[in-house]
């Protein structure tokens, strides 16, 4: 039995609860009118106690609302973290320290704070719900035992009040049960209102296999390497290889070829993001296997064509990091757009070409022995394209770095020490 009241739907959809809230409010108003008709004196006492109880409960609800708002803010940060995992998988795989810092200082912290805010808010709501039930029992006690001591009240009036208030318990409980949903919906609407019209236009995190790191002093060899790319909903597959290549320190290598020739696939294979199906990769004559591929990836600083840009310089532990970053911001002509403070960029609201320059800054600060750029100059204007090929690449070479560039810019091919051309997965 449900005393004739309609229960709220047991789904977390506040819009669907509105008709049921209206029905229960109508029941409450009708019952209060009946109580006022029975006795105005008892009605005023009853209303006074109910109002006092509602004020007390509202204090709890206000506290819960603040915690709901806090929880929602933290969830926004968690969604950013999840996006970083899905879109920044390659960058996290290639930098163990960035990944560890990301997990320890952002993902785990935000998850713990979100859990704490949600638990505390629901605990406060539960206390408010318990107080609402206590309010009715207190009201029953006052009407049955206390009121007759001070004023003569007819027994049929008291019995009418007790029965009606017992009937009202369920509608009131229903309204209190929906308070969390209403509060959460209010927070969501406030977030939407705050956004206004200012919206800005396969994750796998491997555990570190140990502190032992690889070095690149002599050569990086790809021996008879192949990799097959399986296209979804297509019968044909793309196979890269067999590839035989050797890279040395202080070299500039261009990987060229038409669209779909396998340039980006080769780049990810070289960087260790794809595992060869056949053949092997060797660094200083040491074979790369599942046990050391994590360390192998730490040799690379990469800016992919579909790069992900982090808001801060995670995992880069260097003295005077802000000072060095500001120097690169000036060099890349970004100092008038953004600033950096404690390794955090002031904004990422930049054009795609400017975002690529900021990604290049991060790669510079990582200071790895091998740099790989996948169509970095594609979104740059002629001025920065010239700087990239004529200044930045030779500077990296002078610093002893190996630079691998996937490019279509044939006017700069003469700058490469080695030119690798692919045609549908095969070396030409």
Q: Which pLDDT belongs to residue 280?
A: 94
Please write the tens of the pLDDT for every residue from 234-281.
566 888 989 999 999 999 999 999 888 999 999 999 999 999 999 999
**Against a cut of 0.85, is the pTM above it?**
no
Radius of gyration of the chain (CA): 33
Query: At 253, is the secondary structure helix, strand, or coil?
Result: strand
101-104 long-range contacts, CB within 8 A, separation 24+: 101/314, 101/315, 102/310, 102/314, 102/315, 103/205
Residue 312 clears pLDDT 80, i.e. is over it: yes
| Mean pLDDT along residues 125-131 | 77
d(CA 372, CA 271) in angstroms, rounded, equals: 8
Instruction: Determine which helix (DSSP H) or strand (DSSP E) holds 374, and give its type and residue range.
Output: strand 370-374
Q: Which pLDDT belongs to residue 243?
A: 94
Residues 6+ apart with CB under 8 A from 304: 90, 264, 267, 374
d(CA 125, CA 177) in angstroms, rounded, equals: 9
Q: Which pLDDT belongs to residue 11?
A: 43
CATH of domain 14-195: 1.20.1560.10
Q: Which pLDDT belongs to residue 114?
A: 84
User: Omega of the bond prior to 135 within 30 degrees of 0, cis?
Assistant: no
Residue 210, token pair as written in the block: 């140990």
Q: Which pLDDT belongs to residue 232?
A: 55
* Sequence ranges of the domains in the chain: 14-195, 220-427
d(CA 413, CA 253) in angstroms, rounded, equals: 9
CATH of domain 220-427: 3.40.50.300
Q: Which pLDDT belongs to residue 198?
A: 37
> Alpha helix (H) ranges present in 88-178?
89-94, 96-102, 108-141, 147-150, 155-177
Residue 46 clears pLDDT 70, i.e. is over it: yes
d(CA 132, CA 49) in angstroms, rounded, equals: 11
Q: Which pLDDT belongs to residue 196?
A: 45
Residue 366, token pair as written in the block: 């990582």
Please write the tens of the pLDDT for every residue from 132-191.
777 777 777 777 777 777 777 677 777 777 778 777 777 777 776 676 666 666 666 665
Q: Which pLDDT belongs to residue 188?
A: 62
User: Omega of the bond prior to 22 within 30 degrees of 0, cis?
Assistant: no
At residue 22 the predicted structure's pLDDT band, cuts being 50, 70 and 90, is: confident
From the number of C-beta atoms within 10 Å of its C-beta (0-12, 13-18, 19+), residue 291 rates as exposed
- Please state, as a whole number, how many other Cβ atoms lie within 10 Å of the Cβ of residue 394: 13
DSSP-derived secondary structure for 165-228: HHHHHHHHHHHHHTHHHHHHHHHHHHHHHHHTT--------PPP--S-----SS-EEEEEEEEE
Please write the tens of the pLDDT for every residue from 179-227.
666 666 666 666 556 544 333 333 343 444 444 678 999 999 999 999 9
What's the DSSP call for residue 39? -
* Parallel/antiparallel/unpaired status of strands 418-423 and 426-427: antiparallel
| Helical packing angle, 179-195 and 108-141, nearest 10° | 140
Residue 314, token pair as written in the block: 């995670």
Q: Which pLDDT belongs to residue 389?
A: 94
Q: Are 309 and 348 in contact (CB under 8 A)?
A: yes
Better pLDDT: 47 or 262: 262
Query: Mean of the per-residue pLDDT values for the chain?
Result: 82
Q: Which pLDDT belongs to residue 233?
A: 53
Q: Which pLDDT belongs to residue 167?
A: 76
Residues in the chain, overall count: 428
Instruction: Determine which helix (DSSP H) or strand (DSSP E) holds 403, and give its type and residue range.
Output: strand 402-406
Q: Which pLDDT belongs to residue 209?
A: 44
Q: Considering the chain, what percentage of its residues have pLDDT values greater than 90?
A: 31
d(CA 238, CA 227) in angstroms, rounded, equals: 8
Q: Which pLDDT belongs to residue 41?
A: 80
Residue 299 clears pLDDT 90, i.e. is over it: yes
Q: Which pLDDT belongs to residue 2?
A: 45
Q: Which pLDDT belongs to residue 185?
A: 64
Nearest CA to 370 out of 300, 304, 417 is that of 300
Lowest mean pLDDT among 138-142, 303-307, 329-333: 138-142
């Amino acid at each position: 039995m449900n005393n004739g009241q309609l229960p709220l739907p047991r789904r977390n959809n506040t819009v669907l609860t509105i008709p049921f809230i209206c029905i229960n409010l109508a029941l409450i108003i009708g019952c209060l009118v009946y109580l006022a008709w029975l006795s105005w004196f008892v009605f005023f006492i009853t209303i006074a106690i109910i109002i006092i109880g509602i004020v007390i409960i509202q204090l709890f609800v206000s506290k819960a609302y603040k915690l709901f708002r806090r929880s929602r803010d933290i969830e926004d940060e968690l969604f950013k973290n999840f996006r970083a995992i899905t879109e920044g998988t390659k960058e996290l795989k290639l930098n163990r320290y960035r990944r560890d810092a990301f997990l320890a200082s952002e993902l785990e912290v935000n998850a713990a704070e979100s859990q704490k805010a949600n638990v505390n808010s629901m605990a406060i709501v539960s206390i408010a719900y318990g107080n609402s039930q206590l309010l009715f029992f207190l009201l029953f006690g006052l009407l049955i035992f206390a009121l007759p001591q001070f004023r003569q009240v007819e027994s049929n009036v008291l019995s009418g009040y007790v029965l009606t208030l017992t009937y009202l318990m369920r509608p009131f409980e229903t309204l209190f049960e929906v308070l969390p949903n209403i509060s959460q919906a209010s927070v969501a609407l406030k977030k939407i209102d705050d956004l206004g019209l200012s919206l800005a236009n396969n994750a796998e995190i491997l555990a570190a296999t140990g502190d032992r790191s690889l070095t690149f002093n002599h050569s990086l060899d790809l021996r008879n390497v192949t990799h097959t790319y399986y296209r979804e909903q297509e019968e044909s597959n793309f196979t890269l290889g067999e590839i035989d290549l050797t890279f040395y320190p202080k070299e500039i290598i261009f990987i060229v070829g038409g669209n779909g020739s396998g340039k980006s696939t080769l780049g990810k294979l070289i960087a260790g993001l794809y595992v060869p199906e056949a053949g092997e990769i060797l660094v200083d004559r040491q074979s790369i296997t599942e046990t050391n591929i994590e360390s192998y990836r730490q040799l690379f600083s990469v800016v992919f064509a579909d790069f992900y840009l982090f808001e801060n310089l995670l995992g880069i532990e260097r003295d005077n990091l802000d000072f060095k970053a500001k120097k690169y911001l000036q060099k890349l002509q970004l100092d008038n757009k953004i600033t950096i403070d404690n390794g955090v960029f002031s904004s990422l609201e930049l054009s795609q070409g400017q975002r690529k320059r900021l990604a290049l800054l991060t790669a510079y600060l990582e200071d790895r022995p091998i740099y790989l750029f996948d169509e970095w100059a594609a979104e740059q204007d002629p001025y920065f394209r010239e700087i990239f090929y004529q200044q930045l690449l030779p500077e990296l070479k002078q610093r002893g770095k190996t630079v691998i560039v996937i490019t279509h810019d044939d006017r700069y091919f003469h700058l490469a020490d080695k030119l690798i051309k692919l045609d549908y997965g095969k070396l030409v």
